[in-house]
Every structure is written in structure tokens, then in C-alpha cells.
Structure 1
């Protein structure tokens, strides 16, 4: 996970905490955290990066809508990141 941007890590956390969210649902959740609009040109390439790194799985809900689900490697990456952070922060 050390090769992900902070934005990509935030996307990974949102996906891990949801039940197969659509890209739009991920976008809405991240926008609430960032308190600003996230455009498609920023969101979808970063989601694709997570898919390509096999941290997230992507599937079709219908012809226009995809869902994202945390992959086993993504869960492991989050666990390892938490352990690393916890050694510095109580």
C-alpha cells in the first residue's frame, strides 16, 4: 500500500467499508470527506489503479454501472497499514 496515493488509500477504505458500492456511491462518500467535488477524471483512473493492483475487484451492476469490492489483497494491505500506523499512533 506504500505505493498508493493518499486519495487511492481513501478510495480503498471507502470500498472496504461498503457493500459493493457503485463508482457514484464511492464518489459521494469521498466528496463528503473531502468537502469538495471529485470529478470523474480523477475518480475512475484511481479506481482502475486499485483494480489493476488487484486490491479491488470490479464487476457490472448493469450496462452503465459498475460495482467495486475489496479484494483479499486489499484487505491484507489495509491490515498491514493499520499495524504500521498503530506503532506510531495510540
Structure 2
């Protein structure tokens, strides 16, 4: 199974990349999902969310990124603690 190490946002009308976020060295994510703001006025107004696992540190986190930011800026992270 392939490991996902980056999210790339594509403008399908223009056929070009408009956003990108690398998870980090030996960090791999699950399938990203788009969550629209309540008042979704513009296309892309919302967040991209995904679970990410750092294989080196052995920790996982839930990431919430600004979908309109070209760097898909992280606005929140929740770290998972396994006992």
C-alpha cells in the first residue's frame, strides 16, 4: 500500500497546483478530507483534515489545515497518546 507524504491542491479548471503541504520526514497521512466553513461563500473556504503518523517518533496526530492557504497552513493539531 502506498504511503502518502504530501497533500497537493490542484485547480482543475487551470490544471495547476495551487497549494501543497509536506507532512515531514517519515510522516505519512491518511486520506485527506475537505470540511467547509458554515457560511461556505467561496469555493475552497474551509479546512483540509487528515490523520498523520510519524514513523520515527511513533506518534500520530490529527491535522486541520487552512484550505485557502497556499502552504495549507496548520491551524490545529491534536496529538494522539497511546497507552
Please give the TM-score of this superposition, normalised by the length of structure 1.
0.27
Point out the structure with the larger helix share. Answer: 1
Flag the structure with more relative contact order, 1 or 2, with Cα contacts below 8 A and sequence separation at least 6: 1
Point out the structure with the larger strand share. Answer: 2
